[in-house]
Structures are given as C-alpha cells and as structure tokens.
Amino acid sequence: MSEPLETWIDAAIGETREALVRDGKPIALRISRASDEGRRARWGELYCARVREIDRRRRGAFLELGLREQQGFLPLGDDGRVRMRKERVNLREGQGVVVGITREAARGKNPVVDLSETGHDGEEPHRIARHDVDEELVLAKPAPDPQLRAKLDGAIEDALARTTPIPGGGMLTIDAVTALTAIDVDAGARQGSGDPERFALDLNIAAAQEAARQIRLRNLGGIIAIDFVSLRAKSHLKALEDAVRAAFADDPWSVQFGGLSRFGVYELARAQLRTPLHEQLRDPDGRLSAETVALMALRAIEREGRAHTGRQIACTISPEVKAWLDAAEIDWRAELSNRIGMRWTIDSAPGPRDKIDVRAP
C-alpha cells in the first residue's frame, strides 16, 4: 500500500507554487506564473486557433493561439493530413480550429497541440479553457504557515541543484541538455558491506528510486540516460532492471524502458508534457532568471514585513532584477501593499543577479 499524499500550495505574489508530497518528500512540483498569462501555453488548455502556416517539410502546421510569445505546432501525418479522433482531416491556411495543448514548450520548441474541432472562423485566437488542475492553482491562497512557504522554497532549490544525495549515501549528478538528460551515479562516502557486488547493487537500487523521484520532481522528459555503477552478476543486472521499472511504476507520464547497455547505462524515454523546471526558472545560461529572483525578493519583503509589523522594509537587488520589476509585467505593487501595507522600498546596486538584501532598519 502506497504512502498517503499531501499537498503544499502557496499563492505568492506573481506565482502559485504547489508540491505533491509523499512520506515528507516532494515528488512533483507545479508553478503557475502571472506573467505567463497571454504569453505561454500550459498543458491541458484549449484554444480557438487559426492555422498560420502548413509546413509539409516539417510535417506540421503552425497555429496562432493568441499568445504573445508562442504559436502551436500541430503534427501532420505522412499523408499531409491531421488526425482528429478517428478521422483524417485536411487543413488549410487561415482555417479556424479548436486545439488542446498536449505538450508545453521545451528545449526551444513550440508547444504541441492536437485537433479537437474544425469549422470555426479563426478570428481572434484565444484560450477557451484551462485544465482542471490549473484552475485549482488560480483559486489557491497564500500559505497560512510561513514554514510551508519555506518548505516550498527548499523543495524548489533542491530540484534546481545539479547534484542531489542518494538516501543511504552517494550522489546523483543530473545534467539536462538539449538532446537528453544524463544522470551519473556516484558512491561517494556511502558505507556498505565487504561484498563490492552487493554494495554496487544496493547503491544502484537506491539511485534508481531517487532518480525516478528527481525526474518527476524536475519535469524532465525525453531521452534519459542513467549511468549506474557497474555490475557483473546476471542476477544483479536483472534485479536492477526490475528496480528501475518499479521506481517508475506510479509515474503519471508515459515511460518507455530501453534497458541496460553493456557499459551499465540505462536508457529510458519519458513523455515531456510540461516545461522542465530549470527551463521555467532559469535563463539559457543557467542563471536564475530576473523574474525568478524578483519574485523571490517580493516573498522576502513580505516575510520581513510580517515579522516586523509596522516597520519600514528596505530591499536591495541587482539592476536587472529591479528593471524587471519596474517593467510592471504584473501588478506586484498593489498586491504587496495589500499584504503588508505601503511600507517598503526597493533599490538596486551592482552585484550578482541572485543577491537579495532585505532588512527592517
């Protein structure tokens, strides 16, 4: 019988964050940002769309969704038509259709859609429905317990880290690049019996379980290669194969297993439905985005404001983070004032992008 699940959720200024937790450990994260409204598509949304271009070389149609930054990609079959339930449908440029988002943008590619209906006029493309799980995020409220917000902060920080510990000792190194995600298993200072083969098997099984949790937590998909510690005994190789499959047994996304190579690398493919966490929160250069740091700063101001009732709160951030706030992509000023009152100042000073200095003088 599986452990009961709990949910941590917090509607902070500019973003709502949710963690699904089993036995005290987060196993899945979702983040919905106010700035994405009208800019980016989310999994499960429905759109009235217009066919902008049919590109037979790429075997797809590009659709206007009414978003400022993204257009949808609708795959075409070898016959140049698109599947709609049990039918094969011809499309024409300018045609109006209803589509659903089946995969969010990832690795620089457009969101992928499937066709639900035809026969619309194609005027003014727009979203017509969210997925039910995203409706829950829209209705979420700020976390009543500051410790819950701190838990979410920690869970997200851990999920962005390149290395993560394996329970019982050892380390996973996770590198997500354009073509695939590579995960390396290292014994580190893990203690074990005097039997090297048994030690390696125990390490690999623990690593498989933690890798499955981290992959789901980070919204990683596509080709994933896990470089396990070498095993020799055929029975141990079989035990590891079984352990990998068991670790992904309750994954809600489709997982295809490729098996162990002669070099001890296990390959699998996981469906990519949502944007990977690192792409959502970091820039392509690997740094936290200016928006991510700005929203962290707003949470820090709110935290200090609640801890020091009635006192003025001063915050200093980098110029690029201040510029993001000044651009007012979201109405953060009104929301911050509603939460702690008009008793804060935000200034900038040269320094690392992720440096935030908040104080109550």
50-98 pLDDT, tens per residue? Answer: 999 999 889 999 999 999 999 999 999 989 999 998 899 999 999 999 9
pLDDT at position 235 over 70? yes
Residue 162 in contact with residue 28, Cβ under 8 Å? no
- The count of domains in the chain is 4
Q: Are 199 and 224 found together in one domain? A: yes
Alpha helices by DSSP H, listed for the chain, are: 132-138, 146-160, 196-217, 234-247, 277-281, 290-307, 319-326, 332-340
**Do residues 140 and 246 both lie within one domain?**
no
Domain limits for position 69? 46-129
**Position 111 pLDDT exceeds 80:** yes
Q: How far is CA 89 from CA 7, 64, 78, 82, in A?
A: 42, 18, 12, 5
pTM over 0.75: yes
Say yes or no to pLDDT of 358 above 70. yes
- Choice between 292 and 329, residue whose per-residue pLDDT is larger: 292
pLDDT for residue 123:
86
pLDDT (mean) for 107-126: 91
122 and 89 belong to one structural domain: yes
User: What pLDDT, on the 0 to 100 scale, is given for residue 1?
Assistant: 42
CATH of the domain at 83: 2.40.50.140
Rg (CA), the chain: 23
Same domain, 12 and 144: yes
| Residue 141 sits in the same domain as residue 124 | no
Q: Cβ(55)–Cβ(24) under 8 Å? A: no
* Percent of the chain at pLDDT exceeding 90: 83
* Same domain as 274, residue 291: no
Q: Can you give the pLDDT at residue 3?
A: 65
List of residues 6+ apart from 159 with CB closer than 8 A: 26, 29, 214, 217, 218, 277
How far, in Å, CA of 235 to CA of 201, rounded? 10
Query: What are 263-279's pLDDT values in tens digits?
Result: 889 999 999 999 999 99
* % of the chain residues with pLDDT over 70: 99
Same domain, 20 and 142: yes
* For residue 163, pLDDT beyond 70: yes
- CATH number of domain containing 296: 3.40.1260.20
Of residues 257 and 145, more confidently modeled: 257
